Chains A and B, each alone.
Chain A
């Protein structure tokens, strides 16, 4: 018997007992749907987190004062409760091998006016290192310079949304806007980043030299809170950088051993790592569910195949009398198990993909179909089905033709 004939016979048997075949497939279908669907949703979520991280910038960490420590015991004079500009300079000076870029940030809010348009936005005082650290490119112009920072010049960079609100489609470069009453020249417009799951709209910000903001708009005492942004040289060195920055600041703030930090470090790459750990845990859990479904599916197929072998014992005897060899019978029943599991797997693949697509189409959940995972799921399902069919098929192939012919 050729392979294609056996295949045809197997398929016709599967189609002959439609309800039974369908019920036998359910477990396999569920297993494949579980894998395909949840991998798609899980990877979609992961991809979105990665995308958010990418727009924020890689290997970034933010150092700021610990808030809410005003109550309780005062720790004594000379203990800084904030990260200062001097601290930022010290990080850049002392840790050049770890910190690729260091920039201070001060935030304020204010009204920005150009001609008869005005817009309320977030004002950020910083240094040119900020744009480098975030890998943020300019649509037009460029950053204000270190010289501008040193001289506290009235220059600013617009976020894409601020530009749009004030200038629409017109160019803004070298125009003068009024920021909380201060005249300020636009030297650059940033490319849009889009909204992320973190923080405010990144495109709705106006940047100026930190000195300009501090001296001319929001007078701050020199030692009061800035946030330091540090970009580590590489992802591998992010943890070391965090550690070294912490040591340096403890030293500068004269914290005794055992005394708690008066600053906190928010490490984006740690966040990303923990998100990855969560994704791994999730996929492990998922593999467990898929594995159990597969097992149940395989048992279902084994059961149906055993029933089929018993039910068709006389047919097996007849086929042997008519010239079928043991392996012909074996192959026939294996192919039946194979077609059951293959049909189930393909059905599961279709349903899982359709479900993932529908989810991403009609909800905000992103879904990314993973062809490799789908292929593995189908292969595992088919393998499980064939494995389940092996014992019944061997039983059929080992039947004695005379006994089988007389069976009733």
Chain B
């Protein structure tokens, strides 16, 4: 499925009437309610909403980490709601990339090995893993820190390692969950520039954030409230900063 939907503008992700309900303490929680949307190849989408609005649940479903209670989800032309766990793991490993708020790097493991981690599950040999990880680190301007462990890196550097890891298998879609939540504003700017560059290269970006400034870097803004999609519009332009 590697090239399915790679053409810019073609639909890559399509949700139809998707709901996600949980049982928490005997009570039903409607985290997502009847959400339908499509995201095209090459899009840069920001998802906003207060906590509990369902934006994280949506991300988890889009990223194949969770299954909808109702509705259908087509990713890269496949009805993934019906796929087995192993098929979904396969798709996650080869076509998707993940970036998390708290980076999720393996402690006491070098930046290089952290970046190379996804390739392990594709059976890529050690030499090629290292070569590709080095190239991915170069792409985020961190080649000189390859041998350092996360505790020896700044927050921004750790997030760049995480981005390099997300990019290593040339994903078609990258999901970022509050990627700048733990970063200062200067580093946030730097990160957004990097995202914009990646998007220009044709990678589809889906990003959850609660900072409007960050959301403004995207091209499209989805707003969620109480599990429902309440607004779907082009991201508002940035106000001119003095």
Residues of chain A touching chain B, judged by Cβ–Cβ distance below 8 Å, are: 1-2, 5, 9, 16, 314-315, 318-328, 401-402, 405
Bound: A318/B93 CA distance, A:
11
**Closest chain B residue to A401 by CB distance?**
B65
Interface size on B, as a range, is 20 to 34
Contact (Cβ within 8 A) B98 A322: yes
For the A-B complex with A324-B121, A405-B100 known, give 18 more contacts whose Cβ atoms are closer than 8 Å: A1-B121, A5-B123, A319-B121, A320-B89, A321-B98, A322-B92, A322-B93, A322-B117, A323-B90, A323-B92, A323-B94, A323-B169, A325-B85, A325-B121, A326-B85, A328-B121, A402-B65, A405-B65
Which 9 pairs between the two chains have the least Cβ-Cβ distance? Answer: A323-B93, A323-B121, A322-B118, A325-B89, A318-B104, A401-B65, A325-B86, A1-B121, A2-B123
Bound: A315/B107 CA distance, A:
9
Q: Which B residues are CB-close (under 8 A) to A320? A: 65, 89, 92
Bound: A323/B166 CA distance, A:
11
Is the CB of B37 closer than 8 A to any CB of chain A? no
Contact (Cβ within 8 A) A321 B117: no
Is the CB of B50 closer than 8 A to any CB of chain A? no
Q: Which A residues are CB-close (under 8 A) to B63? A: 321
Contacting A at CB under 8 A, from B90-131, are: 90, 92-94, 98, 100, 104, 106, 108, 117-118, 120-123, 126
Bound: A401/B104 CA distance, A:
13
Q: Which B residues are CB-close (under 8 A) to A327? A: 86
Q: Which B residues are CB-close (under 8 A) to A9? A: 120
Contact (Cβ within 8 A) B104 A402: no
Is the CB of B188 closer than 8 A to any CB of chain A? no
Is the CB of B60 closer than 8 A to any CB of chain A? yes
Give the interface SS of chain A, mostly helix, strand, loop or mixed.
helix
Which of A2, A5, A16, A323 is in CB contact (< 8 Å) with B89? A323
19 CB-based A-B contacts, threshold 8 Å = A2-B123, A5-B123, A315-B106, A319-B117, A320-B89, A321-B65, A322-B92, A322-B117, A323-B89, A323-B118, A324-B93, A325-B90, A326-B85, A326-B86, A327-B86, A401-B65, A405-B65, A405-B100, A405-B104
Q: Taking the nearest CB of chain A, how far is it from the CB of B223, in angstroms?
A: 23
Bound: A325/B94 CA distance, A:
13
Q: Which A residues are CB-close (under 8 A) to B93? A: 322-324
Bound: A293/B10 CA distance, A:
64
Bound: A1/B108 CA distance, A:
21
**Closest chain A residue to B169 by CB distance?**
A323
Which of A16, A323, A402 is in CB contact (< 8 Å) with B122? A323
Q: Which A residues are CB-close (under 8 A) to B126? A: 5
Bound: A1/B94 CA distance, A:
13
Contact (Cβ within 8 A) B120 A5: yes
Contacting A at CB under 8 A, from B25-77, are: 60, 63, 65-66
Is the CB of B14 closer than 8 A to any CB of chain A? no
Contact (Cβ within 8 A) A16 B108: yes
**Closest chain B residue to A332 by CB distance?**
B120
Question: Which of A9, A318, A321, A322 has its CB near the most chain B CB atoms (within 10 A)?
Answer: A322
**Closest chain A residue to B91 by CB distance?**
A323
Bound: A298/B123 CA distance, A:
31
Bound: A151/B106 CA distance, A:
98
Bound: A382/B94 CA distance, A:
35
Q: Which A residues are CB-close (under 8 A) to B122? A: 323
Bound: A321/B17 CA distance, A:
25
Q: Which A residues are CB-close (under 8 A) to B89? A: 320, 323-326
**Closest chain B residue to A6 by CB distance?**
B120
Interface digits, B134-176 against A, CB 8 Å rule (1 contact, 0 not)? 0000000000000000000000000000000100010000000
Question: Which of A1, A5, A318, A320 has its CB near the most chain B CB atoms (within 10 A)?
Answer: A318
Q: Which A residues are CB-close (under 8 A) to B121? A: 1, 319, 322-325, 328
Bound: A323/B120 CA distance, A:
9
**Closest chain B residue to A5 by CB distance?**
B120
Contact (Cβ within 8 A) A402 B85: no
Q: Which A residues are CB-close (under 8 A) to B117? A: 319, 322
Q: Which A residues are CB-close (under 8 A) to B66? A: 402
Contact (Cβ within 8 A) A1 B120: yes
**Closest chain B residue to A327 by CB distance?**
B86
Q: Which A residues are CB-close (under 8 A) to B94? A: 323
**Closest chain B residue to A325 by CB distance?**
B89
Question: Which of A321, A327, A405 has its CB near the most chain B CB atoms (within 10 A)?
Answer: A321
Contact (Cβ within 8 A) A322 B60: no
**Closest chain B residue to A326 by CB distance?**
B85
Q: Taking the nearest CB of chain A, how far is it from the CB of B124, in angstroms?
A: 9
Q: Which A residues are CB-close (under 8 A) to B169? A: 323
Q: Which B residues are CB-close (under 8 A) to A314? A: 104
**Closest chain A residue to B88 by CB distance?**
A325
**Closest chain B residue to A328 by CB distance?**
B121
Question: Which of A315, A318, A323 has its CB near the most chain B CB atoms (within 10 A)?
Answer: A323
Bound: A322/B93 CA distance, A:
5
Q: Which B residues are CB-close (under 8 A) to A401? A: 65
**Closest chain B residue to A16 by CB distance?**
B108
Q: Taking the nearest CB of chain A, how far is it from the CB of B98, in angstroms?
A: 5
Bound: A405/B177 CA distance, A:
12
Q: Taking the nearest CB of chain B, how far is it from the CB of A335, in angstroms?
A: 13
Q: Which B residues are CB-close (under 8 A) to A402? A: 60, 65-66
Bound: A321/B177 CA distance, A:
13
Bound: A220/B63 CA distance, A:
108
**Closest chain A residue to B59 by CB distance?**
A402
Bound: A9/B63 CA distance, A:
26
**Closest chain A residue to B166 by CB distance?**
A322
Q: Taking the nearest CB of chain A, how far is it from the CB of B20, in angstroms?
A: 11
Bound: A381/B81 CA distance, A:
43
Q: Which B residues are CB-close (under 8 A) to A328? A: 121
Q: Taking the nearest CB of chain B, how far is it from the CB of A319, in angstroms?
A: 7
* Known A-B contacts A1-B123, A402-B65; A322 and B165 likewise in contact (beta carbons under 8 Å): yes
